[in-house]
Amino acid sequence: MPPSLSIVIPVLNEENQVAGILEAASALLERRGGDWEIILVDNASTDRTRQYAEPFVDEKRVRYLRNDVNRGKGYSIRRGMLEAHGEMRLMCDADCSTSLSSLPRLEEALADADIAVGSRLGQGAHVSHQQPLRRRFFGLGFLILTRLMLGRLPRDVYCGFKLWRGDTAQAVFEMTQVDGWVFDAEALAIALRMGYRVREVGIHWKNRPSSRLSIPDVLLPAVRELLVSRETRRHAPSALRANDEDLRTVGEI
Ligand SMILES: Nc1nc2c(ncn2[C@@H]2O[C@H](COP(=O)(O)OP(=O)(O)OP(=O)(O)O)[C@@H](O)[C@H]2O)c(=O)[nH]1
Ligand SMILES: [Mg+2]
């Protein structure tokens, strides 16, 4: 019997994606066997997301949580990861149906690790539909800034497809502070400081045709969140000995 698995899906105005991801995720979980649950965290959608999700929701295996107002993607993921019961917990964006085929690779990586980070850059990654140049340029710049502020991190920090051991997720998400886009970096920086082992795994990934992110709107709050994350990381209990083996790309020796 495979270990129990929770899939946490944050959704904001995803009426076009929500049924697709729920169908793909529940089919995969049925095939995989074992105990499973899906937790949708609706970050106060104003479209028909709830209506399209409704046929799948049974409040047992597929639960629907809703934030009263938009509290950020980081808040939504924290809420879902801490509500989850799985021995393994996957965070999966609503536009990540394509990446579900990579779940077995992430599970394999957890054989000797605590967090498997899906990567659009790692060995074995297959990315279709490049992001627009402006978006890629901004993404790379922000990644460099993130590393300058938080130190050792995987190459692809902000990918919306990561598998966590349940106990690791519990310990780390209880400590995270930021509610917005930087939560990924904060959580991974805390985890590495505490000595959890992170593996980066190349995955299948398909970009949305048009990005929904507005760079001017997210930049300033994101920089503020980097400053907060640096403090959270500093106050996290530090592992006795930092180990280079804690952060490795699967496939590299
Ligand atoms: N944009 C946005 N997405 C949110 C928010 N809260 C939760 N989400 C969900 O977070 C996931 C990632 O959002 P995306 O809009 O795909 O953001 P992204 O992947 O960084 O950027 P693009 O895919 O290029 O638009 C999706 O499942 C969203 O529905 C929010 O406040 N804003
Ligand atoms: Mg996306």
Instruction: Please check the confidence at residue 242 and state whether its pLDDT lies above 70.
Output: no
Q: With 70 as the cut, is the pLDDT of residue 111 above it?
A: yes
Specify the DSSP class assigned to residue 25: H
Strands 161-165 and 115-119 come out as antiparallel
Angle between helices 166-173 and 183-193 (to 10 degrees): 110
Residues 6 or more apart in contact with residue 61 via CB below 8 angstroms: 26, 36, 37, 38
Confidence label for 211 from pLDDT (cuts 50, 70 and 90): confident
- 23-37: pLDDT as tens digits: 999 999 999 999 999
pLDDT for the residue 209? 81
Is residue 159 over pLDDT 80? yes
9, 81 Cβ separation under 8 angstroms: no
- pLDDT score of 251: 66
Q: Enter the tokens of residue 170.
A: 């519990």
pLDDT at 252: 59
* Secondary structure of residue 130 in the 3-state scheme: coil
220 CA distance to ligand 1 centroid (A)? 17
Find the mean pLDDT for residues 64-68.
Answer: 98
Distances (CA, A) of 38 to 101, 111, 112, 250: 17, 22, 25, 27
Tell me if residue 251 falls in helix, strand or coil: coil
Does 134 have pLDDT greater than 70? yes
pLDDT reading at 11 higher than 90:
yes
Higher-confidence position of 249 and 116: 116
Pairwise CA distance, residues 128 & 131, whole Å: 9
* Distance of CA 222 from the midpoint of ligand 1 (Å): 14
- Residue closest via CA to ligand 1's atom 15 equals 212
| pLDDT surpasses 90 at 116 | yes
Mean pLDDT of 99-123: 95
Helix (H) or strand (E) holding 135: helix 133-150
Best mutation site among 38, 49, 162, 213 for ligand 1 pocket (most ligand atoms within 8 Å of CB):
213
Greater pLDDT, 132 or 98 = 98
As a whole number of angstroms, the distance between CA 147 and CA 104 comes to 28
Counting residues of the chain whose pLDDT is more than 70, the rounded percentage is 98
What domains can you pick out in the chain, each with its CATH number? Answer: 1-94 (3.90.550.10), 95-253 (no CATH)
Which residue has tokens 């929904």? 212
Q: What is the mean pLDDT of the chain?
A: 94
| pTM (predicted TM-score) | 0.96
- Residue 207 CA to ligand 2 center (angstroms) comes to 7
pLDDT greater than 50 at residue 154: yes
Q: How many helices (H) and strands (E) does the chain have?
A: 8, 10
Give me ligand 1 centre to Cα 241, in Å: 36
d(C-alpha 166, C-alpha 121), whole Å: 25
Nearest CA residue ID for atom 13, ligand 1: 93
